[in-house]
Structure 1
Amino acid sequence: MNLADIYINYKEDIKTIERELEKNVQTANPILEDASVHLLRAGGKRIRPVFVLLAAKFGEYDIEKLKHIAVPLELIHMGSLVHDDVIDDAELRRGEKTVKSQWDNRVAMYTGDFIFGKAVETSAIFVNPSIHEIMSNAMVEICLGEIEQIRDQYNWEQNMRHYLRRIKRKTALLIAISSQLGAIASKADPDVQKQLYWFGYYVGMSFQITDDILDFIGTEKQLGKPAGGDLLQGNVTLPALYALTKKPQLKAELNDFFNGSNQDKEHFHKFLEVIKRSGGIEYATKMSDLYLKKAFERLDLLPNIKAKQHLSDIATYIGRRKF
């Protein structure tokens, strides 16, 4: 079963979540609403809401409750993307102009803040304090990750520990708590909640590493932005990190390129080829596969219900996706 088949199984519930997302970004301020709707309609896989729905199948499934978990988690993700695009000075996301490109940095930052605020407001119906604690802690961690990303731009001396911590905060944590909170909201067994958290975490780590691989080997049409965009924005991802350890002279060459006036595309593409030939893509692929293996080990510990197979299918898709 592929990702589209899974979505068909939950089509009506996903429609409910989409309607709630649109309702939540409505506001009396036309600029905030236009910017938020622009971001919402740029699309996305809605991976986090789907993890909420699948995790909830291990307990008492009720979409009217679950939408108040799925929607804020997607809003947190959306808000972080707006902030990311400001940090990276990105012009395109999924083939569409970013909020900062369509408006400006100030509008983008306040749009991200507005979306974060709506996330908190949407989840307020729950009286369980652990739900709010988990969600707010994730928002803090995401912000810390964004600050680290700013600090580490064009820093060619990073190590693996920095990279893994950054992608945990950037991607893995939100997928992990999507699984965990779906289980908590449906009152699933505490051990199931724990296993789902770790399943989501490992899948999230693999998801981001795959993203980082695709940034080097994908086409602009597939990615919705130019290939090599992470490196061009000074973000050191796993394939580049591996190449820098194998070819230390690359650090000085990158410094010269970004500090110089001759930043032509042909010169930059040579760096991409060096990184691809270094073995960095293969190394990152193995790392992604290792995280997926750990995810499947956690999945094996869960009860054998239909949603378990769907979670397995999503994890398999993440490991094989091409865009």
Structure 2
Amino acid sequence: MRLFRGAQDRKQAKALQEQLELLESELMEHLRFASPVADAPARYLMDAGGKRIRPMLTLLTSELGTGPNPLVRRAAQAVEMTHLASLYHDDVMDDAQLRRGVPAAQTVWSNSVAILAGDLLFARASSLVSGMGEEAILLQARTFERLCLGQLHETVGPQEGDEPIAHYIQVLADKTGALIATAARMGVMFGEGPVEYADPVMEYGERIGVAFQLIDDVIDLSPQKDRTGKRAGTDLRAGVATLPTLLLRERAAAGDTADAALLARIDAGVAAIREGADPGLLDPEVDALRAHEVTRETEHTARRWAREAVDALDALPKSNVKRGLERMADSIVNREG
């Protein structure tokens, strides 16, 4: 993810990259456990790599003040550790087979071990934040609460009177946007940036989080398994709600017979796969949904959220940092995996 361009930005880009590498090595140390039973599963997803969007964002927003320092890196590590912990739990709940191109943790060990590994990381993240002041502790607690609420609402699904698409967007805001927003705010807090920048970068973070997940809905339908690490239509075959399928349901309910027929084939295929049928039986429907207008609408919706994220930065002065945040939003909606 290139956040800086041109000769004038190279020095800043190099400095941030050095800080990110230092942060990475420190994070690996924080993930070490004396017990070998805990050490391997707790470090498993960290070793698998990742985009490190959250710690990168914390480092970047710290430049609105004095820049990266040990407390900024510590905050970034706590946020990334919280993110990693949530992935262990998500994969168990979703019965996911792959994560970051490697077998999901519960397929290597067991559901119980994966859940406990996630719990260990949540505990270690809380330990990191505990010495950083009351505001940081409260922010971490509220973020953790939103992660749990997002997962709960996703698991239970929309209730009577809930609008399914609004419910889905709120789940994305809680499960993904909240932690990215916290990452952005932590950078301002511990980089000693102006307090009036904290809310704008937090709104920016939440909105790019939603945009990130909406683009994931499009990427899920991509045939490029070598880039995404997943078979095209993994969520569709598992019956997981995504914006394209929710939009398709909306169109079918409004009386579009072609969309209703496609939806019926998808629902029948998902039911058959749950009974043990070959997931490949939905290949034609995955292709049809990828080419469908609802997938283009999902992409447009993601871009709108990214534009609104950038609009939230109006309070920030023109600077390399603001340009970097704008490019981060652009990179998120233009990625292919």
Q: Taking structure 1 as the reference length, what is the TM-score of the superposition?
A: 0.92
Q: What is the aligned partner in structure 2 of residue 276 from structure 1?
A: 290
Q: Please give the alpha-carbon distance, in whole angstroms, between the structure 2 residues aligned to 1:125 and 1:65.
A: 10
* 2:331 matches 1:317: yes
Q: Is the contact made by 1:152 and 1:158 (CA closer than 8 Å) also made in structure 2?
A: no
Q: What is the aligned partner in structure 1 of residue 310 from structure 2?
A: 296
Opposite residue 333 of structure 2, the aligned amino acid is G
Question: For 1:80-99, what aligned pairs fall within 5 Å after superposition?
Answer: 80-99=86-105
* 2:60 matches 1:54: yes
Q: CA deviation at 1:218?
A: 4.5
Q: Is the contact made by 1:206 and 1:292 (CA closer than 8 Å) also made in structure 2?
A: yes
Q: Is the contact made by 1:59 and 1:188 (CA closer than 8 Å) also made in structure 2?
A: yes
Q: CA deviation at 1:265?
A: 3.3
Q: Please give the alpha-carbon distance, in whole angstroms, between the structure 2 residues aligned to 1:16 and 1:209.
A: 31
Opposite residue 296 of structure 1, the aligned amino acid is V
* 2:156 matches 1:173: no
- Work out which of the residue numbers 236, 240, 258 in structure 1 matches 2:270: 258
- Work out which of the residue numbers 299, 304, 318 in structure 2 matches 1:285: 299
Q: Please give the alpha-carbon distance, in whole angstroms, between the structure 2 residues aligned to 1:232 and 1:205.
A: 22
Q: CA deviation at 1:7?
A: 6.0
Which deviates further from its counterpart, 291-300 or 98-107?
A: 291-300
Opposite residue 139 of structure 1, the aligned amino acid is F
Q: What is the aligned partner in structure 2 of residue 2 from structure 1?
A: 2
Q: Please give the alpha-carbon distance, in whole angstroms, between the structure 1 residues aligned to 2:108 and 2:185.
A: 35
Q: What is the aligned partner in structure 2 of residue 123 from structure 1?
A: 129
Q: Is the contact made by 1:158 and 1:241 (CA closer than 8 Å) also made in structure 2?
A: no
Q: CA deviation at 1:72?
A: 0.5
* 2:218 matches 1:213: yes
Q: What is the aligned partner in structure 1 of residue 9 from structure 2?
A: none
Q: CA deviation at 1:17?
A: 1.1
Q: Please give the alpha-carbon distance, in whole angstroms, between the structure 1 residues aligned to 2:15 and 2:333.
A: 21
- Secondary structure of 1:247's aligned partner: helix
Which deviates further from its counterpart, 21-30 or 267-276?
A: 267-276
Task: Number of aligned residue pairs: give it.
Answer: 319
Cα deviation code 1:169-189 (max 9, x no counterpart): 121111111111211122222
Q: Please give the alpha-carbon distance, in whole angstroms, between the structure 2 residues aligned to 1:147 and 1:4.
A: 38
Q: What is the aligned partner in structure 2 of residue 21 from structure 1?
A: 27
Are the structure 2 counterparts of residues 320 and 109 from structure 1 closer, same or farther at C-alpha, using a change threshold of 3 Å? same
Are the structure 2 counterparts of residues 102 and 266 from structure 1 closer, same or farther at C-alpha, using a change threshold of 3 Å? closer
Are the structure 2 counterparts of residues 135 and 94 from structure 1 closer, same or farther at C-alpha, using a change threshold of 3 Å? same
Cα deviation code 1:141-185 (max 9, x no counterpart): 1112222232239xxx97111110111112111111111121112
What are the ranges of 5 or more consecutive residues in structure 1 without an aligned counterpart? none
Q: What is the aligned partner in structure 2 of residue 242 from structure 1?
A: 247
Opposite residue 307 of structure 2, the aligned amino acid is K
- Work out which of the residue numbers 32, 55, 75 in structure 2 matches 1:69: 75
Cα deviation code 1:16-55 (max 9, x no counterpart): 2111211111112212210122211100011000110111
**Percentage identity across aligned positions?**
27
Q: CA deviation at 1:305?
A: 2.3
Opposite residue 151 of structure 1, the aligned amino acid is V
What are the ranges of 5 or more consecutive residues in structure 2 without an aligned counterpart? 6-11, 254-259
Q: Please give the alpha-carbon distance, in whole angstroms, between the structure 2 residues aligned to 1:314 and 1:202.
A: 12
- Secondary structure of 2:130's aligned partner: helix
* 2:146 matches 1:141: yes
Q: Please give the alpha-carbon distance, in whole angstroms, between the structure 1 residues aligned to 2:46 and 2:235.
A: 23
Question: For 1:176-187, what aligned pairs fall within 5 Å after superposition?
Answer: 176-187=181-192
- Work out which of the residue numbers 135, 150, 154 in structure 1 matches 2:155: 150
Q: Please give the alpha-carbon distance, in whole angstroms, between the structure 2 residues aligned to 1:12 and 1:33.
A: 26
* 2:56 matches 1:42: no
Opposite residue 71 of structure 2, the aligned amino acid is K
Q: Please give the alpha-carbon distance, in whole angstroms, between the structure 2 residues aligned to 1:11 and 1:69.
A: 17
Q: CA deviation at 1:102?
A: 0.8
Q: Please give the alpha-carbon distance, in whole angstroms, between the structure 1 residues aligned to 2:120 and 2:71.
A: 23
Q: Is the contact made by 2:16 and 2:60 (CA closer than 8 Å) also made in structure 1?
A: no
Which deviates further from its counterpart, 113-122 or 270-279?
A: 270-279
Cα deviation code 1:195-227 (max 9, x no counterpart): 111111111111111111100125211111222
Q: Is the contact made by 2:4 and 2:320 (CA closer than 8 Å) also made in structure 1?
A: no
